[in-house]
Structure 1
Amino acid sequence: MARSHLTLAALATSAVAELDVVGAAPFGSAGRGDFDSAVVTGRDGRLWIVRVPRSERAEQEQSADLVALRALSQGARARLPFEVTVFAGQAPIDGTRAIVSEFVHGTSVTLTAIDLELATSIGEAIAAVHALPTSLVTDVGLPATGTDEAHRAAQSLIERAAATNLVPAALLDRWRQAGDDAGLWQFTPAVINGSLGADSFLASAGQVTGLLGWHGLRVGDPARDLHWVLGIRRDGIADAVFDAYTRVRGSVDRRIRQRATLLAEFEVARWLLHGTDTRSTEIVDDAVRMMSRLVDDVLGDATDSIAPPTLPILAVDEVEALLDRAERVS
């Protein structure tokens, strides 16, 4: 049974010394989702959010979130163009715990709500996270994955999916070519959030104001934080995110979009493997349909290429002009 906002407000007063609650309201859908949540107002006008996990998985996620938030020092937070919540206190309840943290203002972002302005802000926000020093993650013992590990993990996933004999040949060839392309995996590991999606962001007036869910914080492949963007099919949105990201980060990873494309396609492979592991015919059939649509999409869209970039093909008159300029220079 869902805990009421009044119960959560009482827990907040137990968790945070000297917190004088003068108001409380439910946050999110009561009785749904992974957490019971409420926003409480202190006498000083400050807002706090109290959350109690509803499952073991949510409890593990919350614990990882706390470790990550503690790793984000004041110096690191100052480098980010958005707010990161601050842990305030905790109180035990029914074998788990209520966590109280500072409330970050903004409206939860959905895929359909992302316009060009917000897409630009999202790209800048992700780039700022990736520019943080890796030592803030490694010094507290959070996971760090290198290029070789990422490459091997991708190849392993491809072969596991292939073993189901359900992946279309054209898609399997595409994935294997990417797995064999050593250049695709030559990237510099960076600090990544590790679990980004549209609903990770809070925004106001077209700008990112906050970023939720830090439980996946680690050093790893930057493309992992960007692959979800490619699910936005409206013209220019994904381009705006990647363009803004590149402006902030520079050309440190020339093939990040190609790798992000591959990681986005791997989500279908993971769904297929989840279906086979759980012996769910419904999930397997859904994954097969998704792969069929994916084949139609990627084979008909050159912008989704994950092959090595090639130089543009010049027309005859362009070749002649190029040779003429070279001769004059010499």
Structure 2
Amino acid sequence: MKRTAMELAALASAAMPGLDIVQAAASPDDPRAFDSAIVTDTDNNHWRVRAPRNSQAAFRLETEIQVLSGFTPAIRAHLPFRVPSVAGAVQIDGLRTFIYHQMPGEPVDLGTITHAETQTIDDIGRIIAAIHKLPSAVVETADLPAYGAEQSRARLLSELDQMALTGKVPADLLRRWENAFEERQMWTFIPRVVHGDFDETSLLIDRNRAVGVTAWTDLHIGDPARDFMWLASTGSIEFRDAVISAYHRHMDLPADQVDLHLMRRAALAAEFSLGKYLMSGIHASDKDVIAEAQSMLRDLSADVDYTGGHDIGQQFWEPVAPPEPLVGNDERDAEAEAEPAVWSEYEPAENATQKDFDDDTETAQAQLTVEPDATQDTESASTEIPEESAETVSGPDQPDDAVEHTPQTAREDSGAELIVHSLSEDDQIIRHDVPQPAAEDEDTQPISWKVVQENLRRD
């Protein structure tokens, strides 16, 4: 049963005898789990009242109390944001309602926050980075779970199996998610302290500054991508990239620890959450939730079929700026010696942005390069792979240790060439666009590949 703001004010008075409340207003929260209100007393002090609507929500609130107790004064003093503190509690029908000291600021909807000022965006990146840098003792003190990278992947695969058994998830989504879970390269992250329920509703904004974080019910050690799920819902790529860039700047990690697949896993988690919502309805025997979840899954399936959805596939793309086109008849016949600038996967450039080291929706194991030869007929141009150089391309059905790829190229309509990189046994990228030194022979002279192609066409 939903409680009104006045009923929550009465619970606050019961929890804190002597509290004289003069005003109460509803506060945004998860409507399926909590009733919330902001109440004001005669001294103009503000308090937040949060009451669980079911036993599962009550368990989450009890967990939050444990989490907040782990934020010692020393930890709070070093955080770039404020954390709630509990003022009182009252038990009704076996479920406890908690009263918190109200913090400055208020949540801002996603559409508004995407147009936030640069300082606000930097605050958001700094806040998420500070959460991921929290000491593990905060989680351990509250006796909360910790999952490694492989554990996280295995748990998701187990949940996927349960979803498949229901017969209520479109088959194309099941295949799409399974392929992503089977991609080992995508699941090599460093586990960190994770908020677990971070989004625009848990972020408090005051005068264009992000000043506080609420909803600490799902804190754990696990995949940091979980705190970026909400960014997968925004239509502003510029905002998403700016937040990720600010996050990496404040994390200040060595180049070899930068998480290249962060947003890919975040997009995957956002899609997969619809399946989890379906399972919650099934477990609760809630027909309305089941129907709503199935409708959203069908919409997602149609969107993926039409647009391709978020990039959570198996390819690891490396964007490369195309070379400048050559002009003039003499220059058309000259071979391009300058190599296009490449963003290195493990060496972000100074003042790097999301494109430099973390565009998880577009990064890949391929490069895009443009042929400078303007005289060659595009339709007749082709590239063949010698049979003796072909290797086994790894796929989802192959064992983990068989990670050898065929350096292959493919011509697209735009004239671009896709160069697929290989992975070494220790999962390091081997670039195939860099020419390997060949043994020199006194009788061998450099041969123009262009001349060879022309001879082949004449023959």
Q: TM-score range by the shorter chain?
A: 0.7 to 0.9
Q: How does the TM-score come out when normalised to structure 1?
A: 0.82
The answer to whether 1:40 aligns with 2:40 is yes
Give distance in 1, aligned partners of 2:93 and 2:160. Answer: 42
Shift of 1:275: 5.6
Match of residue 176, structure 2, among 153, 174, 177: 174
Pair 1:192-2:194 in alignment:
yes
Instruction: Give the aligned residue type for 1:289.
Output: R
Q: Deviations over 1:183-207 (max 9, x none)?
A: 2111111111111222111102222
Query: 1:170 offset after TM fit, Å?
Result: 4.7
Unaligned runs of 5+ in 2: 325-334, 340-432, 438-459
The answer on 1:215 being equivalent to 2:213 is: no
CA deviation digits over 1:211-232, x for unaligned, max 9? 1110111111111111121101
- 23 and 137 in structure 1: CA distance in 2 versus 1, 3 angstrom threshold: same
| Secondary structure in 2 matching 1:216 | coil
1:74-153 matches, cutoff 5 A: 74-114=73-113, 115-117=115-117, 118-153=120-155
Distance (Å, rounded) in 1 between the aligned partners of 2:9 and 2:141? 39
SS at match of 2:40: strand
- Decide whether the 8 Å contact of 1:4 with 1:26 is kept in 2: no
Which residue does 2:317 correspond to in 1? 310
Higher helix share: 1
Equivalent position of 2:337 in the other structure: 320
Q: What secondary structure sits across from 2:145 in the alignment? A: coil
Residue 35 of structure 1 aligns with an amino acid whose one-letter code is: D
Aligned letter for 2:303? Answer: L
1:229 aligns with 2:231: yes
* Paired residue type of 2:262: I
Consecutive unaligned residues of structure 1, counting only runs of 5 or more, are: 15-19
Is contact 1:269-1:287 (8 Å) kept?
no
The sequence identity of aligned pairs, in percent, is 30
1:151 partner amino acid: R
Q: What's the counterpart of residue 13 of structure 1?
A: 16
Tell me how far 1:315 sits from its aligned partner. 6.0
Structure 1 residue 162, shift from structure 2 partner: 3.8
- Higher RCO (CA < 8 A, seq sep 6+): 1
Larger Rg: 2
Q: Distance in 1 between matches of 2:319 and 2:242?
A: 23
Q: Following the alignment from structure 1 to structure 2, what is the Cα–Cα distance between the partners of residues 314 and 5?
A: 58
- 2:50 maps to 51
CA RMSD of aligned residues (A): 3.4
Which stretch of the first structure deviates more once superposed, 265-274 or 254-263?
A: 265-274
Q: Partner of 1:261 in structure 2?
A: 267
- Matched pairs, number: 318
1:282 alignment counterpart = 291
- Give how far 1:90 is off: 2.6
**Are 1:298 and 1:305, in contact at CA under 8 Å, matched by a contact in 2?**
no
Letter in 1 for 2:88: G
Q: CA deviation at 1:247?
A: 1.2
Structure 1 distance, partners of 2:51, 2:174, is: 43
Corresponding residue number in structure 2 for 1:17: none
Q: Distance in 2 between matches of 1:244 and 1:283?
A: 36
